[in-house]
Structure 1
Amino acid sequence: MLTVDEIARRVRDLGGGPVRGVDADGLRRLCESWGVERLPRVYLDFLSQLGVSAGELLRGTDGFFPEILSLPEDVEEFFAEDEGGMPRPPGVLVFAMHQGYQVYWMTDVTVPDPEVVLYTERRPEPLMTWPSFTHFLNAEFELSYGSEACSGVIG
């Protein structure tokens, strides 16, 4: 299992686009926009290193700053229009949206590395769950760069 630091380093090495994190002012604005006092440590690490752009990682997903500043409004609209789907669970923090029909949320922002859930519209239950943000990020890294990048065998 790779750490956020290791994934950020490998994304830089592998290329596929710019790699940039969110600065302290951006993190403050994000917490303000989302109405939270703090973010989980591992997600904060991700934002600090890869939160603006992350090469091929999460390409096509609205999970990067500054677009994620408007997520609270987008999420309200998503669940309001999700006929036949499940309601938004209380207390979750939606941190990304993919193509307007999928949302990713963290179930408990009080833990350092929270569980991540993927929900697709019009379904009675979530599509997928990862035991932690680290597991989620590793899975997405492998999807974007291949299993060789995860194992360290590159080129």
Structure 2
Amino acid sequence: MSIDEIAKTLIKSGNRLKGVSDAEIDHIEKEYLLKLPLTYKRFLSLMGRGAGKFMQGSSVFYNELFELKNGCEELISENHITNFEHKNSFVFYMHQGYQCAYFICLTQTDPPVFFFSESETTNGFYEKEPSLSSFFFNQFRMSYP
């Protein structure tokens, strides 16, 4: 399911989506010196400021984006994680301070998502989803079973 399909389904379910502007997306790219993948830009433009009940309780929206990398680095330090890809990575998700996820900004339109959770028995980050769109789709499925 694409970001657009998720957005349409959320709207049909009565959720109000609030996107960010192109200028705000440019600000993120300039702040982090990265070129964000198209799938993520689409997510931001459609629902980057909120999407009703979708991902409620997770830090994934624009108002918290600039704090996520520091929060994730703190989580990494506390758990002695050594396999975090710093170069070209963008932390886009945290949940309740014990989970975080990032993708690598290269040439991919829909990059894989790397994930860490204190509640899992992994030794660091692992590829949770083969694509960013599948990550958002699975978050959607958890919000709307």
Go from structure 1 to structure 2 and tell me whether the alpha carbon gap of 1:13 and 1:56 turns closer, same or farther (over 3 Å shift): same
Q: Give the aligned CA root-mean-square deviation in angstroms.
A: 2.0
Q: Is residue 70 from structure 1 mapped to residue 64 from structure 2 by the alignment? A: no
Q: Deviations over 1:90-128 (max 9, x none)?
A: 433211111111101114542000001221138413366
Q: Is residue 88 from structure 1 mapped to residue 87 from structure 2 by the alignment? A: no
What does residue 131 of structure 2 align with? 132
The unaligned stretches of length 5 or more in structure 2 are none
Deviation at 1:11, TM superposition (A): 0.7
Go from structure 1 to structure 2 and tell me whether the alpha carbon gap of 1:86 and 1:126 turns closer, same or farther (over 3 Å shift): same
> What SS does structure 2 have at the residue aligned with 1:95?
strand
Q: Higher Cα Rg: structure 1 or 2?
A: 1
What does residue 143 of structure 1 align with? 142
For residues 135 and 101 of structure 1, the distance between their equivalents in structure 2, rounded to whole angstroms, comes to 21
For residues 70 and 29 of structure 1, the distance between their equivalents in structure 2, rounded to whole angstroms, comes to 14
For residues 131 and 114 of structure 1, the distance between their equivalents in structure 2, rounded to whole angstroms, comes to 7
Asked whether the 8 Å contact 1:97–1:104 carries over to 2, the reply is yes
What does residue 153 of structure 1 align with? none
Residue type of the partner of 2:33?
A: G
Alignment of 1:89-128 (within 5 A): 89-91=85-87, 92-121=89-118, 123-126=122-125
What does residue 19 of structure 1 align with? 17
Taking only the aligned residue pairs, the percentage that are identical comes to: 30
TM-score by length of 1: 0.81
Residue type of the partner of 2:16?
A: P
In the alignment, which of 49, 54, 57 is matched to residue 46 of structure 2? Answer: 49
